Structure 1
């Protein structure tokens, strides 16, 4: 969730969302609307074209039927009427009728589709091309009469039949007396079914789908391609109730048209994908166009945003470096736009901050030096006051050798204390400084004080702030051993810590401290402020502050004490090589 929030909250992400809403989204919307409009227009055109193609097939059938139906004119000729009315002596009329049929065959376009023509009277007398004048059997005669006279509109009746085992169509129409309009016979024309099949075949090779021709009764007359499976229409009323139209049945498109001449229904079944294949191509073209445009827009977006975001990211990176304390950073501008001006202002700001920081550091350094010197000035009089008291005490006792010894020790003590104003001395000189101090202290506490040194000689070549160990030894004597009955001892140990620092322990077996006072001293060290100079802790706080002001953390003092057993004060400093000239340090 945080990752998503971080990504969305970035400037580039906001630009991308805005860019998407303002350019990509409208482009997709326009593509969808264009496809929808194009789909509707092309589909309507495809549906209309499919219906026109079906109507064209119907008209081709009608043209054939109309052309063949012109043979019915023979039934209106006088010779034909005479043949049907006269019961005998019709040989001449029969000959004329056959000659006329032959003449019509030579004159009409589709006469080759005609297999046989028969003219039949109501008494069963008939004349045909294949049998001449003859008498029909009763069953054939009754079937023809029933079919013809059941047709109330007296229009030609077309039915499927066979001629010499060949599929054919039977076109039957009535012949009427010219004056009385009385039906005196019928004319039956047998038409080859192959002619219509040829029309359907030629059409189906040019158009996709399956063509089906149904009679008025719903019987299938023709189907192309032959033996093709036809989709079963669930709702036949859609075709039965209308003369023409189109609809979709699942994945199949159905278009139908009813011939006004024959009443036949011409039905075309086409896969819907074939009808809408143009829309599929348009859809692919729109998707390709929109997709290419989106890719180009995204590419353009990354180019634009890279030019815009990269300088901002550089500025952000430099600001992060500056916030981490690196004030040497600088932005190199290669342009003169608003972002470049931000970079220039950033450089100016960093320069001013660095200048102020350097000034502040120098001021703090000077303040630290002043504090160190102030602390040193506080320590020296403190010890001098106690030493002079000892000398006065020995002088009053007229102990001249001891006075000389202690004065000599005091002289060496102050040579190291002064050190020509230097704050850092070698650790071995600080130890020598303590030894001189202890010579003076033993003069006062010779019966109760025992001092030992346990030092790693390798630590003596490193530097230490002067006058840091003496206050600790002084505390051990004045606040530990002095308040203890019996002889006391002070142990001074020095060695390296596991971390590689230098640790010097000042250990005494004095009276120690209570838990409350120990916590009080530790609190003073942590805060760097002595609560009450008269109750102890002032010297240690000064030493601790001097070490931390010079070296920083984690260096300084650590204290442990056990009431009635003694105290251990540990001074920890880093390892710093000494470069002090001892001859110069102790020269007069």
Structure 2
């Protein structure tokens, strides 16, 4: 390489020439890559003389491959690339003029070398495809587990409800849209089950009560007249005690019918219970005693008909079974805030264990009263068993205070 040195005072007047010698092999080490096309780059001047080449014997001479020179001339604007074939190998010829000189850089790129260079890229692309495929499969599995599977489970529970199984439930696992849908489904099933328990079963009980009422009201005047005739017959025969018992039974029967009304004043309910106890005392004699206590202010309260008598009957039949000591039953009624409290207490055997809720659920009389209370008052009324310090049983009924009966039939 050379450079003309001009006079600093007269730039058009050359005063010398600088010649630069380069080690071509080291230059190639700087500009070439480790590929099969190594040392396929050289520099030509405008006369196609070799200025730089890895083979020193070509420098200063015409490039020996005339076919390549002809191909280079076909490149437009002296910048571009063409395909070239030599000795059965395919090359891409690229030329680039060197700015400020009459030289051109020529490079021969072996296509096989390019393909080898792309092998690593292809491997990387394949690896990326495999990784993306695995990620896609994991995403599909996650989507199925967290979405599709839950929707299918919800569909299955819906089919259970469709077949009449109202104990179907969906576990609350998340707060997303599917979780919210499951929560609403559980609320719907609970509501349906509640309506069935409170409406459908109540309707069945009402029908049963109406049937029993109709059966008990068969020609009531005939029954009254017959009992009255028997009572007067007993009086004529001077059987005064028998006449009294028949009169009590007639009165008890009249109260129980109550013209088909399911509600009765507490005063009449206590009268009914007292007559029942007096009839039982006629059978048991002095072995049975009873006491009634009632606040005057609750006598007008409306209660369910025949609500106290089943508790008394329970005490006599179960609490005093095979009981040899004197039997005593204490009935107490009073008001506590807006509630009417009714206690039935005896000195019998009591309950064998303290699992009182089991007795309420399984005992016929207790469960029947609890169901009737729920149908009439909902959660505002309850029946409970209270633990006593002394022997015997203590059953308490708590209902709202009211002086007008509800319209519900129970």
TM-score using structure 1 length = 0.30
Larger radius of gyration: 1
Structure with greater proportional helix content: 1
